[in-house]
Amino acid sequence: MSDGTRGNRDSRAAEEAALSARLRSLGERLDQVGSRRDTEAGPAPRPGADMSGFARGMRLSAELVGGVAIGFILGWLIDRWLGTSPWGMIVLLLLGFAAGVLNVMRSAGVVKPGPFDGGQGN
C-alpha cells in the first residue's frame, strides 16, 4: 500500500519535472521566435524594396507612364477650358514627364523619398 503511494508520488514528481522542463524549452523557443520577429520588424524596410524583379519592373513602368499620362490629361483639359492650345499641353506634358521620372527614381530608391513618401523627418 505505502509502496504503491510512494511510487505514485515519485512518478507524479517526475512527471511534473518533465512538464516544467518542456514548458521551459517551449518558452525559450517562443522567445526566439518573438525576438526574430522584432528584428525583422525593426529596421522597417522601405516598402517595395523587397519585391521580385517582375513586380518592380511593372511598378516602375507604371510610375513613368502615370506621370506622363496625367500631364497629358491635365494639359488637354486646361487647353480645352482656357483655350490656350497648345501651350498648356506642352508645359504640362513636360512637367508630367519630370514628375514621372521623379516617381520612378523615388520608387527605385535612387533619390531620397519625397516629403509625402515618408522618411525625411525635419
Partner 1 sequence: MDDPIHQFNIVKYFTLGHIAGREIAFTNSALFMLIAVAGISLLLIGGTRERSLVPGRLQSIAEMSYEFVADMVRSTTGNEGMRFFPFVFSLFMFVLFVNLIGLIPYTFSVTSHIIITATLALMVFFTVIGYGFYKNGVKFLRVFVPSGIPIYILPLVSAIEVMSFLSRPLSHSVRLFANILAGHITLKVFAGFIGLLGAWGFLGWIGAVLPLGMTVALTALELLVAVLQAYVFAILTCIYLHDSLHPGH
Q: Judged by CB under 8 A, which stretch of 4-12, 22-30, 57-65, 78-86 contacts partner 1?
A: 57-65
Q: Out of 13, 65, 77, 82, which residue is the one contacting partner 1 (CB under 8 A)?
A: 65
How many degrees, rounded to 5, is the angle at CA 91 between CA 116 and CA 80?
105
* Residue 5 within binding range of partner 1, rule CB under 8 A: no
* Residue 105 within binding range of partner 1, rule CB under 8 A: no
* Residue 99 within binding range of partner 1, rule CB under 8 A: yes
Instruction: Report which DSSP code applies to 52.
Output: -
* 60, 104 Cβ separation under 8 angstroms: yes
> Which long-range contacts link 70-77 to residues 24+ away (Cβ below 8 Å)?
70/96, 70/99, 71/95, 71/96, 71/97, 71/99, 71/100, 72/96
Q: Out of 78, 90, 102, 108, which residue is the one contacting partner 1 (CB under 8 A)?
A: 102
Distance CA 79, CA 65 (A): 21
* 108, 100 Cβ separation under 8 angstroms: no
Kindly tell me which of 70 and 108 has the beta carbon lying closer to partner 1: 70
Kindly tell me which of 3 and 38 has the beta carbon lying closer to partner 1: 38
Binding region for partner 1 (CB under 8 A): 41, 44-45, 47-48, 51-52, 54-55, 58-59, 62-63, 65-67, 69-71, 74, 92, 95-96, 98-100, 102-103, 114-118, 120-122
